[in-house]
Structure 1
Amino acid sequence: MSESGYYAWRARTPSARELRRAWLTDVITDIHRESGGAFGYRRIGQQLLCRYGISVSHATVESLMKRAGICGRTGRLHAPDRRPGPRSPGDHWIVDVQAFTTRRRPLYAAVVLDAASRGLMGWSTAESADRPLVHRAVMAAITRAAGTVGADGSDGADGSDGTGLNAQRSPLACSFTQRARALGCAPAHGAVGNWYDHAVVNAFWDSVHRELDEASPRPDPGALEERLGKTFDHFARPA
């Protein structure tokens, strides 16, 4: 390369294609981080289409992930002695936390799903992802299971350990997704969900994003929180 050609290359502004790939890499990195590092290029490609309406080939997503130095987690995400598959309703709950992007700040939503019925038992929303967020969702699920009020994320009774689990009121088993663990919302001693649990959670969030049917990032966190509440209430209603 000639000296003049080198300096011309250095002075050249990035092309529209390069700018789009840089922006897309940032979006992919955000999705990968929100999944707790579990999503690979296929799952991220699905999230790009579902959440942002962006249709990108698997090869492009895989290439951008390699350039960013990230990859999905291979293999099953559970201990070998954990048996996946349907369980009796009320026997096992799955807890997950999802981040929703807005132009002002992120909004986090914690949900509790029944592993057998795949029904929404409880939820909670907040500006930060922490254990109290999960605690409110689990206590709302316990209240709903008791048949007193709806699963609207209201506070539960005193006596909890602050992790969302209360042995006296909740004898059933709970597992936390890798995403909840990565965000610091799951207790250190909490069980990690298996691949079946993650499949239930991912199918639920796909349905939520289709129901919202909005562009992202969303401009108003308050409006998003209200819309999420209505969407969750719809999913929590008995069939």
Structure 2
Amino acid sequence: MIEILSPTELLRARDTGALVADILDALRERATVGTNLLEIDEWAREMIVEAGAQSCYVDYAPSFGRGPFGHYICTSVNDAVLHGLPHDYTLADGDLLSLDLAVSLAGVVADSAVSLVVGESRPEQSLALIDATQRALSAGIAAVRPGAAVGDVAHAIGTVLREAGYRVNTEFGGHGVGSTMHQDPHIANDGRPGRGYRLRPGLLIAVEPWVMADTDELVTDADGWTLRSATGCRTAHSEHTVAVTDDGAEILTLPRRLRR
């Protein structure tokens, strides 16, 4: 399913995007050495409920997971990169933490992810991974415009990641959003320009580069959800929800403090 939002729905999407961004902004400030992943999940729950919104994850039960997910946010640490199931783990100095949040407000979904290093340590490899995904995210968003193909966005992302020396997994990637969290079109993190669905104004897409330091192979935890690098290497993940506009793209998941 591909949804094209009306101007009224787009206004609601801006509110949802701002909420998701502000929650992630608050969580990245609160996630410190000694924080438990279950605390982060509870903080996310409190902020979602207080805003009158709904989590897209609690009842999420796709074919690839062991559902329902049962939590409010994905918390992926170090070699975990996607769908990290919150569990009883206390963050340590130097941990690489990725937070992925999708929320529905007034019937419209927004989805975003950030990666950060916890504490005072600044491992060079971790910082390089985060930087690569952020640059790939910016490149992908820069390729979003009416008439552009999904392959143009995928190629822009993949070019940055490959030039940074990383192998790219195309199994999981970006996607359309709207009244539900995961819609068509699928936006792989590498691809051929000019191929695929042509973007239209009113379309919302989640652009989400993620990468692993020395592999493109994933393994699934015993919890049935958490996806890790097959080699145990570190990973990073960055994501924004973007609206296709008449003349380009609007990032919906920027924190309000950055919009002034």
TM-score computed with the length of structure 1 as normaliser: 0.30
| Structure with greater proportional helix content | 1
Specify the structure having the higher radius of gyration (Cα).
Answer: 1
TM-score computed with the length of structure 2 as normaliser: 0.28
| Structure with greater proportional strand content | 2
- Structure with more relative contact order (C-alpha pairs < 8 Å, separation 6 or more): 2
